[in-house]
Structure 1
Amino acid sequence: MKPITTLKLISIMLVLWVTFISSVADAKVYPLEYFALREVVKNVEVSPDGKKLALIKIAGAGGNPTIEIYDTDNLQKEPFRFNSDPMEIQNFYWLSNSHILVYNRQKVRDKIEGFNQGAFEYLFALFDLEKKKFKTFKETNASVVSVLPDKQDKVILSFSPGNSKSTVDERFRPLSYYEFDLKKGTKKLLYRGKVALGQIQFDRKGNPTFARGFDITKGNYLWFVRDQEKDEWIEVFSNHEDSFETFSIWGFDPLDKNMILVTAHNGKDKVGFWSYDYKNKKFAELIYSRSDVDVTGARYHSNTWKHPGLVTAIAYATDKVHYEYLDGNEGAIYQQLDKLIPNAHRISIESRAINEQTFVISNRGPHDPGSYYLLKNGKLQLVGSQQPLFNAEDLADVKYIQYKSRDGKDIRAYITIPKGKGPFPTIVMPHGGPFVQEVVEYDEWAQMLANNGYLVIQPQYRGSLGYGLEFYKSAFIKGGEGGRKMQDDKDDGIAYLIKEGLTDPDRVALYGWSYGGYSALTAATRTPQIHQCVIAGAAVSDPLYQVNFYRDRARGAQLKEQETMWVDSVSPVKEAEKVNVPLLIIHGSIDQRVPPKHAELYIDELKKHNKSYKYVELDGADHFYNTLNYDHQLKLYQSIIDFLKNDCGPGGL
């Protein structure tokens, strides 16, 4: 597929409306209370006609999320506000110029009900802007699959059958799909999913487009395209469950209706972006690939009302997410915005009116925690920032580096560098997962630590996604490398930073959450020991206990990945006797992904072997970042900084 011919661009004259705070010579050390604030502004969207702007705001440290509605012709005018008290607003969708669908959650239990069975339930409600009234629906834990612009009173919802004990990969549990009438509060069944065809996508007219499923008899994952003319599903691709290769559909090829655009390995180490002949079930053309990293996906057209699902760019990630544009108009718009948005890093058009003249633009990067702008009539205005108390100049630089592991692998990492001159005390902060892709834009934990004088390294150790199949599989293919080579990759990053003069070898610690917490516990027993202390958050302490939660729900490659990784890797609960550095353990009291039992089991072993430790429990906190409120985050940050300063080895870190 060739790039779309660039159309004649309409000249967009942008006038910066905001005056930014001047830089200061020395970075300010901010109170931890500033970092503990939840996002002050988020989810900024314009109405379909571009006349209204809605956003979620959290005013004050303990504030409840509120939706504010502004007039886009006058952002200075007092907005209309509403909340969902006692529920908490999570998200919203413009359905029409006068109706907003609001997604809420509420804590309904004090304890979890088992693995992945948390204490929150989710509801949605319809808000009528003209009548200023809420209509709440009784359906719980439904997901909005598609809003329907041509049916403004209706949406498509999906419902999960609940906690599955199926041996089929949990991602392919069959879902039921309904067209929900928001005026009547009634729903009409569209599809009752089955394992063989259970995950369906719809376009904004309500037509089914793509689907996924699983053939239990053959052990194949399946992908389908809906033939709109024949009104039937066409199986277009299958992949055996033992394969580690991937296949994802991103949309139809706008230049050839017989083609779809996909990301896939197709026998290669790195994921590429392909044109795929779905009627003949064959790859047609490799549109884009790289030798260093995987293609991670696509960017869609910024006007989702006029061009829903239209792929306009191909994405990949190195120092940040980059895009190769297939649509010249879209590429030119983003190129202009990159030059005009202060501290531009990752810019995204979050929302665009049907008339295409009104935009909401976001930016996020090392010197911008997340800002939103309104572009209307050639005028660019700052709507708000997720963290407005920070001066951009005080935030730390982030650099993307590469170093060699001791066995010769190329390891990438992000380092967040504090102000001043090194060598610095350094925190190793491995990501969770471990089989995920991490791209560091603005990382609150890293920025908080850097603001307090610590250099932070976030190594993309073996097993991290985005760097090809061989790199991913090297974490487990010959046995579990947790606590072994995966840990070596992190330690080798410190050796590199010491050699570069950035890290003080006598002032190194490790802090991690989830798998990162597991990594902290394994680091606490290493010899020779390079860390002065470790901090383990929401840590897996007993890998066998953890894998037993989902051993009977996984098959094929995923089962091999999880069993080899967790069963064969180092088990911290069995190694507690070897702990040789000060240790801080932090856990949420209602963590559904890594239940608090992990902390209890590990602490019992520490007591048995007379090992000293500190334990901090975050009451009412789940595993996930969006469940941590202001009090949770403040307690977390205070515990970390106090421990690093006062308990991390002789004299503190």
Structure 2
Amino acid sequence: MAVDLIEAADPSGPRRRVPVGDFDVETLVWANERRVMMRLVIPVTAGGNTPTGRGIANRTYELRSRRVVSMDLETGETALMFGNERVRLRESLNLGYIVDYLPDDPDHVLMAAREYSGLMALHRVNVDTGRADLVERGSQLTLDWSTINGVPVMRRDISTRGSFINIFVRPDGEGRWRRAWRQPTAQVALADFFWIGAAERSGHALVAARLEGENVLAVRELNLETLEYGPPMASRPNVDVSGSLVDARGRYMAAAFYAPRLEYDFVDSDLGAHHRAMNGFFGNECNVVLADADAAHNRFIIRANGPRDAGSWYLYDKTARHFEYLGARTLLDTRRLGPAEAVQVATRDGASIEAYVTAPPGGAPGPVIALVHGGPESRDVLGWDRQAQILAAQGWWVVQPQFRGSGGYGLGFASQGWKRWGDRMQEDVEDALARVIRDRGLDAARVGIMGTSYGGYAALMGAVRRPDLYKAAISICGLGDLGEALAYERRDDESADGFVYNYWVSRIGDPRTDAAAIASASPRLRAAEIACPVLLVHGVNDRIVQVHQSRRMNEALRAAGKPVEYVEVPDAGHADWEDDVEKGLMERYVALFSRAFA
């Protein structure tokens, strides 16, 4: 592996190549004018004695460690952050987390590492020597910090069993930490609160927050002393803010929204005009991410991704209005990739939802697959989707419905799916399929459904509800029994007030008053109604959806005499397996649909 250094003033000129050895480089950031910092991914073999059904077995498995190396570009001298401190290495596989690049202190960065005691600690690390000095200690539950001018003012701690996250703040970096927010880990993908950066006013931070009684997530100031929130600084009707753009000095530049592709609301309106022009450069087919900016906000590193672009990088010069191609994540033949578009779907009860439709290359009518996202309070975006493109490459159409209950469209939209698992949320998937089949002239006799997490549940429930529609269903880490899932959440909820359990009761239903509806919406209890072949996949170590959900679903289908395949992925959690495992699984998904559509 090597790193190419490109002169920003002459990007088409000769590149300087710096070898880094047999490691993958995950990120590359300037520490100062002379040193560059590289986060390396290093394979590590771990293992030990593991109990089995027949005794004790010695097992080994591969993990990934992360380390940061700084390199002096003039001398070639390197320094390993944290050096060879074996105590920290023993407790922290990830020694690659840089919290703050400290733009006013070019010789140091702030980094987090877990110490021998298990405590997460924040350190000031010298980029020339790698030596680390303690700034402060968190707890064994601390995940990370956020800082203003190098001072930690916000901290995230996970609960003991990992079911929720506490967010603490303090105004001066020295006072008592106070809880400002709490959210279930299930909601982290589209959280109701996240850090953005420093506000212009002292003692304030910029955050994205959805306050009580509000529909959308908006950018606003948070007073770190009083915990009071200011009015929205950036928001849109019925669309949540999805992220932000902050420069290397922590200055807020824009709020990000997906509508359905990436758009920014810039503080500097002139940048908005440039971003619209950038979208035009990519044919209005890509999400154009401003990944980095120089201090003058004149040169930008652009990362583009779209249905037919797995990720490409460019340097954009604002003054010259010029793009310079830098490289691509994966070089794929665009002729083998399918275009995608957003369509509006009128539901059977008069509502309107969005769906993303990926056509096979050439666009010939054929079979169609519903690819349902997880969450359920998550969403798809109109961008690169590996699963959708693999399915489309087989000549199949792919529909990704943003059913009511999805996140990202405001709380009002999400709440329309609460306690409607198994009916309204499934109906929206069916209505999106019906619209696309009708408008594109697709084969209504060859329809499949698949998804991960909630999407896996939706695949199973779809097979229960519509044996006439679906010819195959694939559930990846999906729920089969909602009542059992609620019982598990109740047993596992470590919060004093039942915070996590009550969250799921509000979304799925209350076993005391909604028992019949919960049972009716549980595919395991209705396995006999499924007619199509089913493939179940689950990671053995899944802590989000327990593996017994798929195991018991498999047992129920077999007991009912239904065609089912079950795959357990060892040493894996919630669909977090490696790419080689995913490749093998995708081959099985394609094989199942091919047989069903034959």
**Shorter-chain TM-score tier:** 0.7 to 0.9
The aligned runs of 1:63-212 (5 Å cut-off) are 66-72=1-7, 73=10, 77=15, 79-85=17-23, 89-96=25-32, 97-106=34-43, 108-109=45-46, 120=63, 122-129=65-72, 130-131=75-76, 133=78, 135=80, 137=84, 138=89, 139-142=92-95, 143-152=97-106, 154-159=108-113, 175-181=120-126, 186-193=131-138, 200-203=145-148, 205-211=149-155
Task: Give SS of 1:429's match.
Answer: strand
CA distance in 1, matches of 2:183, 2:478: 33
CA distance in 1, matches of 2:364, 2:434: 15
CA distance in 1, matches of 2:22, 2:543: 25
Task: Give SS of 2:553's match.
Answer: helix
Equivalent position to 1:226, from 150, 171, 194: 171
Letter in 2 for 1:273: V
TM-aligned CA deviation for residue 429 of structure 1: 0.5
Counterpart for residue 608 of structure 1: 559
Of the two structures, which has the highest relative contact order with CA contacts closer than 8 Å and spacing of 6 or more?
A: 1
Letter in 1 for 2:5: Y
Unpaired stretches in structure 2, ≥5 consecutive residues: 52-60, 512-517
TM-aligned CA deviation for residue 484 of structure 1: 3.1
CA distance in 2, matches of 1:75, 1:595: 54
Task: Give SS of 1:79's match.
Answer: strand
Q: Does 1:637 align with 2:578?
A: no
8 A contact 2:369–2:447 mirrored in 1: yes
Q: TM-score, normalised by structure 2?
A: 0.78
The aligned runs of 1:533-544 (5 Å cut-off) are 533-543=472-482
CA distance in 2, matches of 1:157, 1:150: 16
8 A contact 2:467–2:532 mirrored in 1: no
* Residue 638 to residue 426, structure 1, CA distance change in 2 (3 Å): same
Task: Give SS of 1:500's match.
Answer: helix
CA distance in 1, matches of 2:203, 2:124: 28
* Residue 586 to residue 624, structure 1, CA distance change in 2 (3 Å): closer
CA distance in 2, matches of 1:320, 1:538: 28
CA distance in 2, matches of 1:128, 1:288: 39
CA distance in 2, matches of 1:163, 1:609: 51
CA distance in 1, matches of 2:593, 2:467: 21
Task: Give SS of 2:3's match.
Answer: strand
Task: Give SS of 2:555's match.
Answer: helix
CA distance in 2, matches of 1:509, 1:612: 15
Q: Deviations over 1:76-106 (max 9, x none)?
A: 5573332455xx5544443243342424253
Letter in 1 for 2:529: K
TM-aligned CA deviation for residue 221 of structure 1: 6.6
CA distance in 2, matches of 1:504, 1:160: 55
CA distance in 2, matches of 1:355, 1:423: 50
Equivalent position to 1:399, from 341, 345, 348: 341
Counterpart for residue 507 of structure 1: 446
* Residue 616 to residue 605, structure 1, CA distance change in 2 (3 Å): same
Task: Give SS of 1:191's match.
Answer: strand
TM-aligned CA deviation for residue 372 of structure 1: 0.7
Task: Give SS of 1:532's match.
Answer: strand
Task: Give SS of 1:524's match.
Answer: helix
The aligned runs of 1:567-582 (5 Å cut-off) are 568=518, 570-582=521-533
Q: RMSD of aligned C-alpha atoms?
A: 4.2
* Residue 530 to residue 160, structure 1, CA distance change in 2 (3 Å): farther
CA distance in 2, matches of 1:150, 1:183: 16
Letter in 2 for 1:539: G
TM-aligned CA deviation for residue 340 of structure 1: 3.5
8 A contact 2:477–2:575 mirrored in 1: no
Counterpart for residue 240 of structure 2: 294
Counterpart for residue 515 of structure 2: none
Task: Give SS of 2:470's match.
Answer: coil
Letter in 2 for 1:471: F
* Residue 184 to residue 372, structure 1, CA distance change in 2 (3 Å): closer
TM-aligned CA deviation for residue 364 of structure 1: 1.2
TM-aligned CA deviation for residue 431 of structure 1: 0.7
CA distance in 2, matches of 1:223, 1:282: 14
TM-aligned CA deviation for residue 432 of structure 1: 1.5
8 A contact 2:217–2:235 mirrored in 1: yes
8 A contact 2:255–2:266 mirrored in 1: yes
8 A contact 1:435–1:472 mirrored in 2: yes
* Residue 520 to residue 528, structure 1, CA distance change in 2 (3 Å): closer
Equivalent position to 2:578, from 613, 624, 628: 628
Task: Give SS of 1:157's match.
Answer: strand
TM-aligned CA deviation for residue 506 of structure 1: 1.3
8 A contact 1:312–1:326 mirrored in 2: yes
TM-aligned CA deviation for residue 326 of structure 1: 1.4
Counterpart for residue 391 of structure 2: 449
The aligned runs of 1:250-289 (5 Å cut-off) are 250-254=196-200, 256-257=201-202, 260-266=205-211, 267-275=213-221, 282-289=228-235
8 A contact 2:367–2:443 mirrored in 1: yes
CA distance in 2, matches of 1:152, 1:288: 32
TM-aligned CA deviation for residue 157 of structure 1: 2.7
CA distance in 2, matches of 1:240, 1:454: 38
Counterpart for residue 521 of structure 1: 460
Task: Give SS of 1:387's match.
Answer: coil
The aligned runs of 1:316-395 (5 Å cut-off) are 316-341=257-282, 345-354=286-295, 358-375=299-316, 378=320, 380-391=323-334, 394-395=336-337
Task: Give SS of 1:641's match.
Answer: helix
Counterpart for residue 55 of structure 2: none
* Residue 190 to residue 78, structure 1, CA distance change in 2 (3 Å): closer
TM-aligned CA deviation for residue 645 of structure 1: 1.7
CA distance in 2, matches of 1:468, 1:350: 26
* Residue 293 to residue 600, structure 1, CA distance change in 2 (3 Å): same
TM-aligned CA deviation for residue 133 of structure 1: 4.9
CA distance in 2, matches of 1:108, 1:383: 34
TM-aligned CA deviation for residue 632 of structure 1: 2.5
8 A contact 1:276–1:285 mirrored in 2: no
* Residue 426 to residue 331, structure 1, CA distance change in 2 (3 Å): same
TM-aligned CA deviation for residue 426 of structure 1: 1.0
Counterpart for residue 421 of structure 2: 482
* Residue 184 to residue 81, structure 1, CA distance change in 2 (3 Å): closer
CA distance in 2, matches of 1:163, 1:470: 45
Residue range with higher mean Cα deviation, 513-522 or 333-342: 333-342
Q: Does 1:310 align with 2:264?
A: no
Equivalent position to 1:498, from 401, 421, 437: 437
Among all aligned residue pairs of Structure 1 and Structure 2, give the percentage whose two residues are the same amino acid: 23
Q: Deviations over 1:522-566 (max 9, x none)?
A: 222224532111122233345566563783245555432234556
TM-aligned CA deviation for residue 441 of structure 1: 1.0
Unpaired stretches in structure 1, ≥5 consecutive residues: 1-65, 165-173
8 A contact 1:227–1:233 mirrored in 2: no
TM-aligned CA deviation for residue 469 of structure 1: 1.7
Letter in 2 for 1:403: V
Q: TM-score, normalised by structure 1?
A: 0.72
Letter in 2 for 1:208: P
TM-aligned CA deviation for residue 125 of structure 1: 3.6
Letter in 1 for 2:554: I
8 A contact 1:236–1:279 mirrored in 2: no
Q: Deviations over 1:594-649 (max 9, x none)?
A: 46544433333333332222345556655445x432x3243233222222222x1x
